[in-house]
Amino acid sequence: MDITKKKIAFAILIAIFLSAFEGVVVSTAAPVIVKSLHNFEMISWIFSLYLLASAISTPIYGKLADLYGRKRMFIIGIIIFLIGSSLCGMAQSMHQLVFFRMVQGMGAGAILTIGFTIIGDIFTLEERSIVQGGISTVWGVAGLIGPLLGGFLIDYLSWHWIFFVNIPFGIFCIYILGKYVHEPELTKHPTIDYIGALLLSITIGSFLYGVMIIGENFKMAMILFAITIIVGILFYFQETKTKEPIVPLFILNKGLVIVNLITFGISFILIANSVYLPLHIQSIMGYSATIAGVSLIGTSVAWFLSSISLATLMKKFEAKYIVMCACAILIFSCYLISSLTINSELWQMAIYVFFFGFGFSGTLNTLTFIVQDSVSYDRRGAAVGLNMLTRTLSQTVGVTILGAVINIYADSFISANGLSGITMQDFYDNTAPLYHELLREALFFALSHVYSISTAVAVICFVLAYFVPKYQQQK
C-alpha cells in the first residue's frame, strides 16, 4: 500500500473511530448530562434521535455519493457531524441537546456508508482486507477508550468536551480526504429523487420508532408499522418510475438479498455480544466496565488477524464456503458462551469471545467485499448504503427483541421462585440484599436465552450462506 493510500485509510479510520467513540462516550456521560440539564425523562432521546437520523440518512448518502462524488459527500457528512458536535457541546437544555444530537446523527450516516464505498473504490482486495479489519479493531478500541477518555474529560473539564474533542480530528480527516482522494469527473447532470428520499425517510423512521416504543406503547407501534408498510409500498412504486432511484431496484436481486439477510443475522449476533457480554461480566461476574472492555478486546484482535488473510482465501475458495465456515465458527462460539455457568471464570469468557472475531470477519467482511464489487462504480454507493442500513436496522431490532427477552425471562424466574414486588431494578439498586443472589441467578437465566437465540440465528445464517453469490469484481 503506497503512502497516499495509507493516509486515506488513516483518515477513514479516524472518522469511523469518532462515530464509534461518540456512541460509547455519550453512554458514559449520560448520568452527568442528566444531572446537569435536569431532565431525566428525555435521556433515551439522546440516543434514539441520533440513531434515527443516522439510519435515515445512510442510504440517501450512498446514493448522493454516486451522483455527486464520494469525496464531496463524505466531507459534507463530516462537516455536518462536526457542526452537530459543536452544537451538542454548547447545549444549555435537554431539548437543545436532543435536537443537536439529531444533527450529529445526520452527519454520522455518511461516515460508514461512504467510508466503505471509498474503500471499495480505491483499495485492492488484499488492501481492503487490512483496512476493513482495522475498522473492526477501531470499534473495539473505541469501546475500550471511550469510558476512560470520557471519564477523564468529564472529571477534569466538563461533559461538553466529549463533543468538542471531535472537532480537531474531524478537521484533520477533511484535510486528508480533500488533498489525497481523487475521483473521475462526473459526466452527467444528476437528478435527485426527492420524493423517494422523503418516502424512504418516513418508512425507516416509522419502523425504527415503532421498534423503540413497542414495549411502552404497543398500539402506537402497530400504527407506525402499518405506516411503514403503506409508505414502503409507495416508495417501491416511486423507485420503479424515477430516473435516479435512491435504492436502484436491480441491487435487490436474489444474490444481494441473500447477502443482506445474512448481514442482518450476523449484525443481530454482533449487537447481542456488544450489549450483553459486558453486562454478563459486570453483573454476573462482578467486574468493572473497564475490565469488561479489556476482556472482550479479543474479538477485535481476532477480527483484524483473520481479515489479513481473507483476501487470499477468497482467491482460493468460493465466497459461500468462506461465509459458511465463518458461520460454523459463530455457531461454535455461541455454543461456548452458552456453556458458561453462573460461576464461570473471566478467563473462560476472554478465550471464548476470541473465536467470535474469526466468525464476524469471515462473514461481515466477505459480504462487504461482495457488495462493493458486485455493482459498477456509479451504483456502489447505493449498494453499500443499503448494506449499512441493514446493519443499523438489525442492531435496533436486536436490542429491542433481546431486551424484551431479558425482561420476560428474568421476571418469569423471579415469579417461579415465589417473589412478589421484587424486580431486576432491585438488583442494580441493591434495595433487596436478601435476594441479591437469586436476582443474579434470574439475570443469568435470562442471558442464557439470549445466547440460545444467537446460536439459532447463527444456524439460520449458515443455511443461507450456501446461497451466497460468487464473488466477481466489476469495474
Highest mean pLDDT among 63-72, 383-392, 461-470: 461-470
Q: What is the mean pLDDT of residues 429-448?
A: 78
Mean pLDDT, residues 384-407:
83
Residues 6+ apart with CB under 8 A from 88: 97, 100, 101, 104, 163
Q: Cα–Cα distances in Å, from 215 out to 243, 379, 408, 410, 415?
A: 40, 38, 11, 16, 20
Specify whether 61 is located in the same domain as 149. yes
Per-residue confidence (pLDDT) for residue 430, from 0 to 100: 64
- Both 322 and 360 in a single domain? yes
Domain identity same for 330 and 405: yes
Query: Both 239 and 341 in a single domain?
Result: no
CATH number at residue 167: 1.20.1250.20
pLDDT at 410 exceeding the cut of 80: yes
Sign of CA dihedral 82, 85, 89, 94: positive
The pLDDT, as a whole number, for residue 186 is 65
Residue 248 DSSP class:
-
Lowest-pLDDT choice from 59-73, 135-149, 161-175, 293-307:
135-149
Residue 475 pLDDT exceeds 60? no
The reply to whether 235 and 255 lie within a common domain is no
Instruction: Between 399 and 206, name the one with better pLDDT.
Output: 206
Range of the domain at 214: 193-243
Model pLDDT for residues 308-367, shown as the tens digit of each residue? 787 778 788 888 899 999 999 999 999 999 999 888 888 998 899 899 989 988 898 889
Contact 126, 311 (CB under 8 A): yes
The confidence score (pLDDT) of residue 234 equals 92
CA atoms within 13 A on the CB side of 275: 20
Which region among 84-98, 331-345, 417-431 has the lowest average model confidence (pLDDT)? 417-431
153, 266: one domain: no
Average pLDDT score over residue span 151-177? 85
Q: Quick one: pLDDT at residue 443?
A: 85
> pLDDT of 99-137, one tens digit each?
898 899 889 888 888 888 888 888 887 888 788 778 777
The arithmetic mean of pLDDT across residues 417-424, rounded, is 70
Residue 302 has pLDDT above 90, yes or no: no
Residue 132 sits at the vertex; the CA angle it makes with 300 and 396, to the nearest 5 degrees, is: 70
CA 314 to CA 82: how far, in whole Å?
A: 38
Cell numbers 434514539 correspond to 48
* 412 pLDDT more than 70: yes
The reported pLDDT for the residue numbered 144 is 66
Query: Which residues are CB-neighbours of 374 under 8 A, at least 6 positions away?
Result: 255, 256, 383, 469, 472, 474
Residues 447 and 314 in one domain: yes
Q: Which three cell numbers stand for residue 37?
A: 440539564
Closest residue by Cα to residue 456 from 335, 357, 337, 313? 335
Q: What is the mean pLDDT of the chain?
A: 83
The larger pLDDT score, comparing residue 421 to residue 90, is at 90
Number of domains in the chain: 3
Q: What angle do CA 171, 22, 407 make, to 5 degrees?
A: 165
pLDDT of residue 83: 94
Q: For residue 149, what is the enclosing H or E element?
A: helix 125-156
149, 167, 192 — which closes off a domain?
192
Q: How far, in Å, CA of 212 to CA of 204, rounded?
A: 12
Sequence-distant (≥ 6) Cβ neighbours of residue 347 within 8 angstroms: none
In this predicted structure, what is the pLDDT of residue 419? Answer: 72
Name the nearest CA neighbour of 108 among 163, 152, 69.
Answer: 163
Q: Please give the grid coordinates belonging to residue 209.
A: 420508532
| Statement to judge: residues 167 and 207 lie in one domain | no
Q: Are 172 and 292 members of one domain?
A: no
pLDDT at 207: 86
My answer on whether 317 and 292 are in the same domain is: yes
Asked if 389 contacts 381 with a C-beta cutoff of 8 angstroms, the reply is no
* pTM of the predicted protein model: 0.81
Residue 42 in this model has a pLDDT that exceeds 80: no
69 and 176: one domain?
A: yes
What is the DSSP code (8-state) at residue 434? G
Kindly report, residue by residue over 262-291, the tens digit of the pLDDT.
999 999 998 888 778 887 888 888 877 677
Averaged pLDDT for residues 396-422: 80
- In the structure, what pLDDT confidence band is assigned to residue 472 with cuts at 50, 70 and 90? low
CB 161 within 8 A of CB 39: no
Beta strands in 85-164 (DSSP E): none
Question: By the 8 A CB rule, do 424 and 443 touch?
Answer: yes
Residue partners of 279: CB distance under 8 A and separation at least 6 = 447
Residue ending a domain, among 222, 243, 264, is 243
More confident residue, 179 or 472: 179
The residue from 181, 209, 243 where one domain ends is 243
Residues 213 and 265 in one domain: no
User: 134, 119 in Cβ contact below 8 A?
Assistant: no
Share of the chain above pLDDT 90, in %: 18
What average pLDDT does this structure show over 7-36?
79
Residues 76-95: what's their mean pLDDT?
90
Both ends of the chain: CA-CA distance in Å? 20
**DSSP single-letter state for residue 363:** I
